[in-house]
Amino acid sequence: MSDNHYREGITVGRPWLAVALCVLALVSIAACRGKGAGAEQEDEAASHRFPDTLRVATLYSPTSYFLYRDEPMGYDYALLTQMAADKGVAVDLVVAHSLQKMVEMLDSGKVDLLAYEIPVTAEYRKKVHPCGPENLTYQVLVQPKKDKEKLITDVTELVGEDIYVEARSKYQYRLENLNEELGGGINIHVIDRDTLLTEDLISMVSDEQIPLTVVDNDIARINKTYYKDLDISMPLSFPQQSRWGVAPDHAWLADSIDRWFAQETPRRRQAELLKRYFELSKIDMGTFTLDLSKGHVSPFDHFFRESGRENGIDWRLMAAQGYHESRFNPDRVSWAGARGIMQIMPRTARAYNLDASRLAEPEANISTAAKIMRELDRSLAKKVADPKERIKFVLAAYNGGIGHVYDAIALAAKYGKNPQVWNGNVEQALLMKANPEYYSDPVCRNGYFRGRETVAYVRGVMNFYETLKKKVT
């Protein structure tokens, strides 16, 4: 399967589809022979066939669809591609700019399916027939993990507390209603989105810069995989059901989708994806004791030296990467599927003629990583002239994907920052890509990106690299 990326959508095609469909059609015709009209109709209803090409709309979000290391990911996207593969259909995926736009596309017949969690409300039921995975969304209090006795466990305990939320958000409105119900006393601090986003507020709770915030439970669960010290067990609203959706006159398609999700294998796959995206830690890499006193960094220094020499890269820079990517663990597999010391994605490995089965081999893994770094440097040389400054851009591209770095460069140029300087300029623009206002900007081609981990990665690798240059030759 090949994925072709466009500014407003992704098309996933299968060259063998036409042959397969012809075979299936012949089988269906043969099966229906000798039956009456009533039996034919019954068989048709029971077959629950999908269209040859499923036209799908979704939104960029940390839960539904995003690009990471230049690969499409997301809980809803993974479910969609699994269903398409099982049913043998092609998928034409379009990324809409808003929920309203997405519903309009469905209503006008431009798409068949919305692979996004649409609220099951009277408002949307007029134009959207719910189907697919069921999700219950509710708002939760995000608070530092403390002793059970010190945790807030009842809404009445919010009186006198300081809670920070985005301005004009549903979280602000819920807190204001709750405050009114309680007779006042909740100290609600409203933060403008231009300054901080919900994800920033969660991070600030973890860092103890603010005491409390409020977010949807699914966003809270994802962020908890980055921060171990948060408690998100306190609900603050009633649950709201959300599901995928089709047009009301396509109830047959909804039925087909629901029947697929009801099967044992899809249910098991869904459970695996829920764990992958909402439970697995995205920061736990284990430990490695550094001892630079003998002039060594890791047991794999000879591979770093050789690969660095062959590709014109300082081996100490690669060693610093290896430490921050995996703590030099050849067997590490990340939540996203990246593998080995240098955390290479299987699809990327294949592009460099390395079979995914060999990604745990230190020499092959490090050698491939060096080639990737060399190619990233060549690509980014067109944007960043200074080789020393470009190192930071290359590291960011390696960690998060070059597409997001290109977007950040474009945003920096548009909003008055220096597009050839990383610190305080392009790194800040990369962080802006978590904000819908900016990742929906026409200069951005790769949508939502959670940039804070990549920014921290660049800082960490560069700091360690400078240390190694002083202590290791």
Same domain, 380 and 428: yes
pLDDT at 48 (0 to 100): 61
- Confidence tier at 28 by pLDDT (50, 70, 90): very low
Q: What is the pLDDT of residue 44?
A: 39
Question: How does pLDDT run across 52-63, given as a tens digit for each residue?
Answer: 999 999 999 999
In a domain, 296, yes or no: no
Could you give the number of structural domains in the chain?
A: 3
Q: Tell whether 456 and 312 lie within a shared domain.
A: yes
| Nearest alpha-carbon partner for 72 in 283, 345, 280, 321 | 345
CATH number of 333's domain: 1.10.530.10
At 416-427, the pLDDT tens digits run: 999 999 999 999
**Residue 266 belongs to a domain:** yes
Does residue 442 share a domain with residue 316? yes
Does 4 have pLDDT greater than 90?
no
pLDDT of residue 115: 98
Neighbours of 236 (CB within 10 A): 18
CA distance 457 to 184: 43
In a domain, 68, yes or no: yes
Q: Do 8 and 106 fall within a single domain?
A: yes
Local confidence band at 47 (pLDDT 50, 70, 90 cut-offs) = low
- Asked whether residue 376 is assigned to any structural domain, the reply reads yes
pLDDT of residue 2: 36
Task: Give the pLDDT mean for 280-291.
Answer: 87
Does residue 244 have a pLDDT over 70?
yes
pLDDT at 31 over 50: no
Q: How remote is the C-alpha of 281 from its chain's centroid?
A: 14
- Sign of the Cα torsion 412, 414, 418, 419 reads positive
Please give the pLDDT value at position 333.
Answer: 95
pLDDT at 38 over 90: no
pLDDT digits (tens, 9 = 90+) for 295-337: 899 999 999 999 999 999 999 999 999 999 999 999 999 999 9
Q: What confidence category does residue 150 fall into, taking pLDDT thresholds of 50, 70 and 90?
A: confident
| Across 5-9, 68-72, 291-295, least confident range | 5-9
Both 314 and 441 in a single domain?
Answer: yes
Rounded Cα distance, 467 and 319, in Å: 12
Domain span holding position 181: 139-237
Question: Does some domain include residue 103?
Answer: yes
Tell me the mean pLDDT in the region 263-271: 96
User: Tell me: the pLDDT tens digits for 446-461?
Assistant: 999 999 999 999 999 9
CATH of the domain at 228: 3.40.190.10
CA dist 23 → 14, 27, 30 (Å):
15, 6, 11
Helix axes 251-261 and 75-87, enclosed angle (nearest 10): 100
> What's the confidence (pLDDT) of residue 293?
87
Q: Are residues 82 and 174 in the same domain?
A: no
pLDDT of amino acid 402: 98
Residue 278 pLDDT grade (very low, low, confident, very high; cuts 50, 70, 90): very high
- In sequence order, the 6+-apart residues with CB closer than 8 A to the CB of 272 are none
Same domain for 335 and 388, yes or no, is yes
Answer yes or no: do 307 and 408 share one domain: yes
Residues 310 and 404 in one domain: yes
> Is residue 44 included in any domain, yes or no?
yes
| Domain limit, last residue, from 209, 237, 265 | 237
Does any domain span residue 288? no
Residue 220: other Cβ atoms inside 10 A: 23
pLDDT band at 213 (very low <50, low <70, confident <90, very high): very high
Mean pLDDT, to the nearest integer, of 148-172?
93
Q: At 255, is the pLDDT very low, low, confident or very high (cuts 50, 70, 90)?
A: very high
What distance in Å separates the CA atoms of residue 234 and residue 158, rounded to the nearest whole number?
11
Q: Let me know if residue 373 belongs to a domain.
A: yes
pLDDT at 193: 77
**In this predicted structure, what is the pLDDT of residue 146?**
76
pLDDT category at 287 given cuts 50, 70, 90 is: confident
Are 340 and 460 members of one domain?
A: yes
- For 215, the token pair is 């977010």
How does the average pLDDT of the chain come out, rounded?
89
Say whether both 397 and 253 belong to one domain: no
Does 332 lie in the same domain as 412?
yes
pLDDT (mean) for 186-197: 88
Residue 284: pLDDT band (50, 70, 90) is confident
